[in-house]
Amino acid sequence: MKEILNIKDLRKIYHTPKEEILALDNFSYSLKEGEFVSIVGPSGCGKSTILSILSNLMEPSEGTITLKEGITVGYMLQQDCLFDFRTILDNCLLGLEIKKELTEENKQYVIHLLETYGLKDFMYRYPDNLSGGMRQRVALIRTLATKPDILLLDEPFSALDYQTRLAVSDDVYEIIKKEKKSAIMVTHDLAEAISMSDKVIVLSGRPGKIKHIYDIELSNKSNPIENRKAKEFANYYDMIWKDIDFHV
C-alpha cells in the first residue's frame, strides 16, 4: 500500500496565563492508502489534538505533516452537528456550498450516497425525523460529499446507546471500505478500535507519546460485529487494556 500521509515528530504545547502544558510529544506515523487506524489512550493524552492538527484547525508547536500530492482530508466531529432547519440533502451539501463546489455532478454524487446507504426516503425530511444512528450516517455522508481521501473520526459513536453504536459502527465501516477511504479514528472504546482497525496506536498519559502500535490480525476478518467473535480479539483487548494507564 502507498503512503499517503506522513506525520513526523508532532508536538503540541498549550499556553495558559500561568503555565505551558505539553499535551503531545514526538508523535510520528505514516498512514497508508486504504488503512483504518485507531488511536486510544487515557483521557487528556492528546488524541483529539492530533485530529485537530491534521485537519488544520490547530497549529502544531513542532513537527511536520506531509500529505501526498492531491490527497484531501475530511473531519467527522463527535456530534453530528446537523442543522434542524435544513433537509437531510441540504445538510449533506453544506460542505460543498462552503467550498463553492456545489456542481450538479457533485450533488448527484451525494444523492447517490444517500440512496446507496439507506437514506433515500429521508432525503427531503429534516434531522428531527431521524434516529441517532441515521443522523451519524448523514454526518458521514456530509463528510464524504467533498470526496476526501482520508477521514478523521473523533469519537463518532459516543453519543449513541450500545446497541445502536454496534450497528452504526458496522454501517460506517462498510461505507468507508466500500468508498475506499483511509481513516484515523479516536475512541475510548477498545473493542470498537480492535474490531474496526488495521492498526491500533496506544498513547501514554499526558504528554501523549506512542507506547505501542498493534497490528490487528483477526481470523476471517469481516465487519466489526463479527470481528468481535474472532479468537484473537480477547487477546488484543487484554494487551491493549494493560498498555493503557487509566489512572493518569
Helices vs strands, H then E, count in the chain? 9, 9
Residue 211's pLDDT is what?
94
Q: Give the H or E element holding residue 231.
A: none
CA gyration radius, the chain: 18
Pairwise pLDDT comparison (179 vs 214), residue with the higher score:
214
CB atoms within 10 A of CB 238: 11
Q: Which segments of 58-98 does DSSP mark as H helices, in order?
A: 88-92, 94-98
Q: What is the mean pLDDT of residues 97-108?
A: 91
CA pair distance 218, 232, nearest whole angstrom? 6
Whole-model pTM above 0.85? Answer: yes
C-alpha cell at 123: 432525503
**Omega before 224 cis (within 30°)?**
no
Residue 248's pLDDT is what?
42
Half-sphere exposure of 93 (CA within 13 A, CB side): 20
pLDDT band at residue 227 using 50, 70 and 90 as cut-offs:
very high
* Structure-derived torsion over alpha carbons of residues 202, 44, 7, 94, reported in degrees to the nearest 10: 110
